[in-house]
Amino acid sequence: MNLKGKKILLGVSGSIAAYKSALLLRLLVKAEAEVRVVMTQSATEFITPLTLSTLSKNPVLISFTKNETGEWNNHVELGLWADLVIIAPATAKTLSKCATGLCDDLLTAIYLSARCPVFFAPAMDVDMFKHPSTQDNIQKLIGYGNHFISPEHGELASGLIGDGRLAEPENIVKILDDHFGKRPVAAAKRVLITAGPTVEPIDPVRFISNRSSGKMGYAIAEAFAAAGAQITLISGPTHLKTSNPNIRIITIETASQMFHAAQDNFGANDLIIFAAAVADYTPRHVAEQKIKKQGDSMTLDLAKTTDIAGTLGATKKPGQLIIGFALETENELSHAQDKLARKNFDYIVLNSLNDPGAGFAHDTNKITVIDKDKNVRQFDLKSKDEVAQDILNIVIAKWSEA
């Protein structure tokens, strides 16, 4: 893991979710990070300093001085010591104090002194989290360059259901690990990815779609976000979710909506990856009411949808890279090479439905990557997360050459 040997300062503020800080601490230590814990006074009402000091193998710091000796807990040294500060849970009060520079305790003083990345993982009731003052403080802290790990949706201590649960410790550790795994060349890049199917309505009940799950596109988004890139993910209907704060999702349903979203964002990105399975045709007329069953047959009048990749590929600017996907069932290589040339791609990722475990719905994929110079690279059957890493490595190598 990338956390090995990293110096992590874990801040714990006063929330019922503070019990999860012990689980988070245990995972960080297991990843071989060196962890020091700083608690607010109110946090000690939810979990004991003894628990966290035992797990971290370091004294837990709470106040500016050590009461028994009067020795100073130097917030400046602590801020400079850390490779990363993570405040989890971060209460509405702690967010407010950090946003306004009010450092009336050791934790907030360390925050103001830190030169390393600072991550906030909020935990509070849903109405507190959604209150404009909390959201303003979050936006202010993001504007200062801090990172946020979004709270999760679920049942809260109040009994309400909504956003506000502290992110699970496993998810927090993954985000922190990904942070240290960032590739410098990717950190300044912006990436646009399309994923999932489109849904073309026939009437209010029926639609035309395909078997795409979106798993490949989402895996690519996570891989590039973990490398440090800023991601815009245009997603058709899917049950999938993302965990990385570097990923901004635009949800769409139809091919037309996907085209307009892609067109609006195309020019601002360094890399565009067309991984979505877009409908080639859509009903020319959508019935306003459910179509009743009549007769033995039914004819649909279909109109061709806009070729998103081809249309936008024709407008590619110098320095932009475009990767397309081709799912084929016959003459796979020749069809993929033709598509690569027609749509002005730099690379095309070919998968064949003739390969077991490849294509739609699977957690695995088997790809062949072809570039515009007709170089062909074949890969073994792998998980889609591993396939995403292979695609990332190809792009990183290309960016590094430039």
Answer yes or no: is pLDDT of 69 > 70: no
Annotated ligand binding at 325? The verdict is yes
Q: Is residue 1 part of a domain?
A: no
Which residues, listed in sequence order, are joined to residue 371 by a DSSP beta bridge? 347
Q: Considering the domain boundaries, does residue 291 fall inside one?
A: no
User: What's the distance, Cα to Cα, between the start and end of the chain in Å?
Assistant: 29
Domain stop point among 131, 159, 180: 180
Instruction: Give the range of the structural domain holding residue 333, as residue numbers without chain letter.
Output: 184-284+297-401
- Give the total number of structural domains in the chain: 2
Q: Is residue 384 part of an annotated ligand binding site?
A: no
CATH number at residue 112: 3.40.50.1950
Helix (H, G, I), strand (E, B), or coil: what is residue 283? Answer: strand
140 marked ligand binding residue: no
User: What's the pLDDT at 361?
Assistant: 61
Among 180, 209, 238, residue at a domain's last position: 180
Structural domain contains residue 173: yes
Answer yes or no: is 290 within a domain: no
Q: For residues 352 and 325, give the distance between their C-alpha atoms in angstroms, rounded to a whole number.
A: 11
Q: What is the pLDDT of residues 81-94, one digit of tens each?
A: 999 999 999 999 99
Flag whether 93 is marked binding.
no
Residue 292 within a domain = no
Is a pLDDT exceeding 80 seen at residue 102? yes
Same domain flag for 130 and 232: no
Residue 230 sits in the same domain as residue 307 = yes
The pLDDT value given to residue 67: 61
Indicate whether 137 and 192 sit together in one domain: no
pLDDT at 353 over 90: no
Tokens of 22: 């012990």
| Lookup: tokens for 168 | 């699970």
* Domain match, 115 and 239 both: no
Q: Is residue 2 part of a domain?
A: no
Place of tokens 């989402």: 218
Count helices and strands in the chain by DSSP H and E runs: 14, 21
Whether residue 333 sits in one domain with residue 205: yes
Residues 131 and 193 reside in one and the same domain: no
Strands (E), 170-214: 190-195, 200-201, 207-208
Highest mean pLDDT among 41-45, 326-330, 350-354: 41-45
pLDDT for 316: 96
Contact 38, 11 (CB under 8 A): yes
Q: Is 288 exposed, middle or buried (0-12, 13-18, 19+ CB in 10 A)?
A: exposed
pLDDT above 70: residue 68: no
Q: Which two tokens stand for residue 249?
A: 């999702």
232 pLDDT more than 90: yes
Position 357 scores a pLDDT of 67
Residues belonging to the active site: 210
What six digits make up the tokens of 181? 């795994």
Q: Is 293 among the annotated ligand-binding positions?
A: no
- Residue 25's pLDDT is 97
Boundary residue ending a domain (140, 156, 180): 180
Q: Are residues 227 and 351 in the same domain?
A: yes
- Structure tokens given for 221: 């988004």
Q: What is the pLDDT confidence band of residue 235, given thresholds at 50, 70 and 90?
A: very high
Same domain assignment for residues 236 and 165? no
Q: Are residues 195 and 175 in the same domain?
A: no
Q: Are residues 158 and 191 in the same domain?
A: no
Residue 48 resides in a domain: yes
Based on the fold, state whether residues 354 and 280 are members of the same structural domain.
yes
- For residue 312, the one-letter residue type is L
67, 169: one domain: yes
> Is pLDDT above 90 for 355?
no
pLDDT band at 358 (very low <50, low <70, confident <90, very high): low
For residues 111 and 87, the answer to whether their CB atoms sit within 8 Å is: yes
Contact status, residue 120 vs residue 45, Cβ threshold 8 Å: no
What is the rounded average pLDDT for all residues in the chain? 92
**pLDDT of 121 over the 80 cut:** yes
111-125, 283-297, 353-367 — which is least confidently predicted?
353-367
Q: What pLDDT shows up at residue 362?
A: 72
In a domain, 95, yes or no: yes
Residue-wise DSSP of 23-34? HHHHHHHHTT-E
CATH number at residue 380: 3.40.50.10300
Flag whether pLDDT at 190 surpasses 80: yes
Angle (CA) 92-95-98 rounded to 5° is 150
